[in-house]
Structure 1
């Protein structure tokens, strides 16, 4: 059985489409379809059932997943065995919530690429948890540890969040002397039905039920604060990127959350990914510390 056919089989299983697998592998969909047909001929069984939702594994296809993934791991190990130790090369795809992806990972990626000039870093910012089982990324950062799946989880770092607003907004609106005073202000927060993790439900900590301006993106919320649109809870590490936005009511609300690094359990034997995971963890911790350290001490 050809390993390259198994590689294509895994891509279709993970993306549930020929075109998605083709984009991932740099092949056209018709080539992917032909290779799947060739593999099905070799095993003597249909591996996928085409449905309106995409290509779904048959029972025979599901049974092929474990040996195909074992072959994938063996190929990766062989590649690592001949890789020059002077620097890590190839592609690293990191999935992360957009606050981390926007304000932390660009600097971390810069340092990784400086240390390893042959490395290509891809940052996937999604308003949901990245699916490592489908190999959407090599590793992922999340705001809660997963409770299912064949995954390994490592606590990265804690970070803090506070209410904040632009100085111009504060100058034009009633004084913010207590949480009760928030009723006289426009609130900025997440769209309630698009909160994908309970740890992101910051608005409930304020006692305010409704935000007048909302987005599923932390970056959009921050831009709204910079525009003087209202008051919102944001990451302390994002504030150095928003001149004029300052923390308020720090004695009333101070939230602490954690980032978690998640990897597929099958990747534990990959020395390359382990080294990159260690460097990523160190970089994220250092960047949170650096950015939070730039903020003035709360009154």
Structure 2
């Protein structure tokens, strides 16, 4: 049983704690709850007076549960389950409701997360999905989102990492480009070609940065922060693109060159334990894993329902 102070905790205040525990930020919790961040702060303060101590501690990466908060949280989760059961009893049918926030690299977002979110919403219209498309390194605080998807196996602290699928970066070009510039027979030949890839100074993901370390300095470059720009530039015969194999496979006009070269990578989902216990988040993660198994790693087995 959670300790109490001078009064009984308010159920609404406990649900506010649950939202902050899952998202790590007052502002993100406020958005989900439909209030402002000062209301979240005030409700947490009222809850702390009721239970007789701090339920959250502020870290450089966001708000984390204190020891007391971890003892209080199961009560909040039980209230959430009770309210969901009450809604089922009143409506006669189970309806899962909630908002799931996902941050993901742009290519994975469009080809995996978007269809996963659409499938989830068809099955559970009460679940809303918010998608933040960004190719960046793991934010160790994981604040403001329920599921953060990154490239490369992440070091995690007080979180869960789930492998979503593997892919490879390989070299592709159109026949038009190759007819004009010649077909490279080896990695060394790439020194005479234009390379299409990320802007080096803007690249924040070490695993993506390492992909070019085995390549010679190209004769020219066409760079962008978007993988979709890489694909379109390569399709426009602008150069040889260093592209995700699963995206290049969607375009018959792209021919793989220097087939001995590839840079293997993987996608991972990072979640707070508190977020994973949320049914909407759990359902969304399963949909992402299922869609990822079909799109990124066709030979992988999707999770069981």
What interval of TM-score do these two structures reach, taking the shorter chain for normalisation?
A: 0.7 to 0.9
Q: Is the 8 A contact 1:150 1:264 kept in 2?
A: yes
Q: How does 1:36-75 map to 2 (within 5 A)?
A: 66=70, 69-70=73-74, 72-75=76-79
Residue 104 of structure 1 is matched in structure 2 by: 112
Report the count of equivalent residues. 284
Residue 234 of structure 1 is matched in structure 2 by: 243
1:249 aligns with 2:249: no
Matched residue SS, 2:296: helix
The 1:45–1:91 alpha-carbon spacing in structure 2 relative to 1, beyond 3 Å, is closer
Instruction: Give distance in 1, aligned partners of 2:77 and 2:152.
Output: 27
Q: Is the 8 A contact 2:168 2:244 kept in 1?
A: yes
TM-score for the superposition, normalised by structure 2: 0.71
Q: Is the 8 A contact 1:11 1:24 kept in 2?
A: no
1:78 aligns with 2:82: yes
Q: How does 1:23-172 map to 2 (within 5 A)?
A: 23-28=31-36, 31=39, 66=70, 69-70=73-74, 72-81=76-85, 88-129=96-137, 131=139, 133-172=141-180
Matched residue SS, 1:206: coil
CA RMSD of the aligned region, Å? Answer: 4.1
CA drift at 1:266: 2.7
Q: Is the 8 A contact 1:186 1:212 kept in 2?
A: yes
- 1:215-262 alpha-carbon deviations (Å, 9 max, x no partner): 332222223223322212111221255463332222x21232222232
TM-score for the superposition, normalised by structure 1: 0.73
CA drift at 1:34: 6.0
- 1:135-182 alpha-carbon deviations (Å, 9 max, x no partner): 422223222233231112222222233111233322321332221121
Residue 3 of structure 2 is matched in structure 1 by: none
- In structure 2, the gaps of 5 or more residues are 1-8, 300-305
Instruction: Give distance in 2, aligned partners of 1:266 and 1:15.
Output: 13
Matched residue SS, 1:208: coil
The 1:279–1:30 alpha-carbon spacing in structure 2 relative to 1, beyond 3 Å, is closer
Q: How does 1:275-290 map to 2 (within 5 A)?
A: 275-289=283-297
Instruction: Give distance in 2, aligned partners of 1:219 and 1:145.
Output: 23
Q: How does 1:216-235 map to 2 (within 5 A)?
A: 216-235=225-244
Instruction: Give distance in 1, aligned partners of 2:77 and 2:153.
Output: 24
Instruction: Give distance in 2, aligned partners of 1:236 and 1:286.
Output: 14
Deviates more, 1:33-42 or 1:281-290: 33-42
The 1:80–1:171 alpha-carbon spacing in structure 2 relative to 1, beyond 3 Å, is farther
Residue 188 of structure 2 is matched in structure 1 by: 180
Q: Is the 8 A contact 1:77 1:270 kept in 2?
A: no
